Amino acid sequence: MTSEEIIEKVKAGLADAIQDTALPQGDAVIFVAPDSWHAVAEFLKNDADLKFDYFSDVRGVDYLLEEREPRFETVYQLYSIDHQHSIRVRVGIDEDNPSVPTVSDLWKGALYPEQELFDMFGINVEGHPTMERLIMPKDWEGFPLRKDYPLTTEAVTFSYNRDFKSDLVKSKPPTR
């Protein structure tokens, strides 16, 4: 199906749940609220004409600098192996208590990228079996890919070797 046909089909099947649709550069994009996302996902996967059986990816986006409401967005990319078409689903998420339902019960492939959402953006994925740090260390504080998390460098803790040739070196090792 072409992107226009996909959007028509989704609109016909789920009139209430779809907030908006768009066709940027010819891609099919639909906007969904977090509450209705799981129902939409089930429809997209099980409908015979759409049949989005392949979970391609999910990304978090932080729109803090654009002062947009809602602040966060999770963007799902789905693909249909049989019909060879794809769709992008954008789910807007509020800043206070950000959470979105899991779809890892429909596509097992969603397990890891959804865990990364929590790790990098602090978005709580409801119903996900392991809501804990994935890439960052277990005791890490903060969510690195949020826009209010600064890009900093970490002080490197080298130990100094004593310079025997001259005792003029008075500097001390840097403290963290």
Partner 1 sequence: MSVTDQGLLHRDKDTMTLNMGPQHPSTHGVFRVILEMDGEVVQTAEPEIGYLHTGIEKNSENKRYGHVIPMTDRLDYLNPPGNNLAFCLTTEKLLGVEIPERANVLRVIMCELSRIASHLVWLGTHALDIGAMTIFLYCWREREMILDLNEEISGVRMMTSYIRIGGVAKDATRPWLDGIRDFIEYFPAKVDEYERLLTKNPIWLDRTEGIGAFTREEAINWSFSGPALRASGVNWDIRKAQPYSGYDNYKFDIPVLNNGDIFDRYRVRVEEMRQSRIIIKQALESLPEGPYKTPDNKVSLPPRESLHTSMEALIHHFKLVSEGISVPVGETYVPIEGARGEVGFYIVSDGTNVPARVKLRAPSFMAIPGMCKMMEGCYIADVVGIIGSIDIVMGEVDR
Question: Do 99 and 126 touch, CB atoms closer than 8 A?
Answer: yes
What is the distance between the alpha carbons of residues 83 and 50, in angstroms, rounded to a whole number? 8
CB of 164 to partner 1, least distance (A): 35
Binding site for partner 1 (CB under 8 A): 24-25, 27, 53-57, 59, 61-62, 65-66, 75, 77, 81, 84, 86, 88, 107-113, 120, 133-137, 144-145, 151
Query: Cα(first)–Cα(last) distance of the chain, in Å?
Result: 57
CB of 13 to partner 1, least distance (A): 22
User: Which one, 137 or 173, has the nearer CB to partner 1?
Assistant: 137
CB of 162 to partner 1, least distance (A): 31
Phi, psi of 31 (to 5 degrees): -110, 130
CB of 167 to partner 1, least distance (A): 39
Task: Pick the closest to residue 45 from 18, 19, 8, 83 (CA basis).
Answer: 83
CA distances from 101 to 41, 98, 149, 163, 172 (A): 10, 11, 25, 59, 52
User: Which one, 39 or 134, has the nearer CB to partner 1?
Assistant: 134
User: Which one, 81 or 156, has the nearer CB to partner 1?
Assistant: 81
User: Which one, 138 or 172, has the nearer CB to partner 1?
Assistant: 138
